[in-house]
Amino acid sequence: MGKPRVAIFDFACCEGCQLQIVNLEEDILGLLGLVQPVEWREALSDRSDEYDIAIVEGSITRAEDEERLRGIRKRAKLLIALGACATIGGVNKLKNACDMEDVRRYVYGRAAAMPHLATEPTRALDEVVKVDYKIHGCPVSRRELGAVVRSLAMGVEPVIPNYPVCVECKLRETVCRYEYNEVCLGVVTRGGCNAPCPAGGGWCYGCRGLVDDPNVNAARDVMDKYGRTPADLQRRLALFNSPGAVSCPKS
C-alpha cells in the first residue's frame, strides 16, 4: 500500500500555519515517512490534482475561493482545516462587522475595483464544505499537528481537546488573570495550547475558538463578580471569534 498523498492549500491567511509544517524540523522526516506531499506551495514546486488528504489553511473571502474549496473537497477523501483562519475564520472575520465596499476601498485604495479583490464576508471552511478534522490555533502547534497526523495514520480518532484553557492554567499553576483585574477569554476557549498566554502574563485571545457549549450564564456571573460586563468579553472575542458571515451585512 502506498503512502497517502497529501496536498496543502492556502486561502486568506498569513500562511504561518503552513510554515509550522515546514518548521517541523527533524520531525519533517517522520512526516514524510507517513505521507507523500504532492502539492505544498511553501515547500514543493510540484502540483497535483490527485490526492487523498487535503490540508487547508486560510478562510474563504471570495466567490472564486468558494469554488476552489469545493473542488478540493470533491477530490479529497479527507479534509483537514489548519489554523484559526480555516477553523473559525479568525481575525479575517473582523471585517464582517463592516460594509464590504468600505473594507475593499480602505484596504486596496485605488485598486479596489479590480475583480480579484471582490471581497465578501469571511467564512471558516466548515461554513462552506464539510471539514473532517480541525487543527486549531494561531498558529497551530507543531506538537498537535504531528499528533493528529500520526493518529490518522494509525486509524485512530485524533484527540482534539474540548475543555477550556482554564484547565491548562490550573495544570501549570498560573494565577487567573481575572484576579489581576483583567479579562481573559480562556473560560470559553478551547484548550490544548497549554495556556501560554495567561502564563506569560497576558490573557487568552481565543485563538483556538470556542469550546462546544460554552456556558453563557456562567460567563455573565464571572463578569458580575469581577465588575465587568458581557460586552467586555464580546469586545475581546471579536478578534478571533467574530460572528459568522450570515449575520453580517453584505456589500
Partner 1 sequence: MSIGQLDVETLCAWVDALARAETVYAPQARGDRFVYDRLRRAEDLRLDHDVTLLPPKKYFLPPRERLAQFDGTGAARSVLDETPFVLFGVHPYDVAAIAQADAYYLKENPDAHYAARRRGAVIVACDVQAASSSVFAACMGTAVAREGFDLLLTRVDGAYVADARTPAGEALLARAGRLSKADAVALGRREQVWQDALKFLRRHELKCRPADLPGLLTRSYEHAAWEKRSERCHSCASCVLVCPSCFCFDVQDDTGWDLCSGERCRRWDACLLRDFALVADTTSARTAWSAIVTASTARASTCTTASASWPASAADAASPPAPRALPIPSSSTTPCWRTDHAGLRLRRGEGPLPFAAGRPAAQDPCHRPRDAL
Give the binding site for ligand SF4 (CB under 6 A): 165-166, 169, 174, 176-178, 184, 186-187, 189, 193, 195-198, 204-208
Residue nearest to ligand SF4 (CB): 186
Across-strand partners of 56?
Answer: 9, 81
Place of cell 479534509: 79
Identify which of residues 108 and 163 has a Cβ nearer to ligand SF4 in the complex.
163
Q: Report the nearest approach of partner 1 to the CB of residue 183 (Å).
A: 14
Task: Give the residues lining the site for partner 1 (CB under 8 A).
Answer: 27, 29-31, 33-34, 146-147, 150-151, 153-154, 159, 162-164, 166-167, 169-176, 186-188, 196, 199-201, 211-215, 217-219, 221-222
Q: Report the nearest approach of ligand SF4 to the CB of residue 88 (Å).
A: 11
208 contact, one of ligand SF4, partner 1, none, CB 5-8 Å limit per kind:
ligand SF4
DSSP state of 61: -
* Whole-Å CA distances, 56 to 4, 41, 108, 170: 16, 12, 25, 33
- Grid cell of 92 as nine digits: 479575517
Q: Report the nearest approach of ligand SF4 to the CB of residue 186 (Å).
A: 2
Interstrand relation of 53-57 and 5-10 (parallel, antiparallel or unpaired): parallel
**CB contact at 8 A, 195 and 172:** yes
Identify which of residues 121 and 198 has a Cβ nearer to partner 1 in the complex.
198
Q: Report the nearest approach of partner 1 to the CB of residue 138 (Å).
A: 15
139 preceded by a cis bond (ω within 30 of 0): yes
65, containing H or E segment? helix 63-75
Identify which of residues 58 and 186 has a Cβ nearer to ligand SF4 in the complex.
186
Cα separation, 56 vs 95, in Å, equals 21
Identify which of residues 98 and 161 has a Cβ nearer to partner 1 in the complex.
161
Cα separation, 131 vs 242, in Å, equals 20
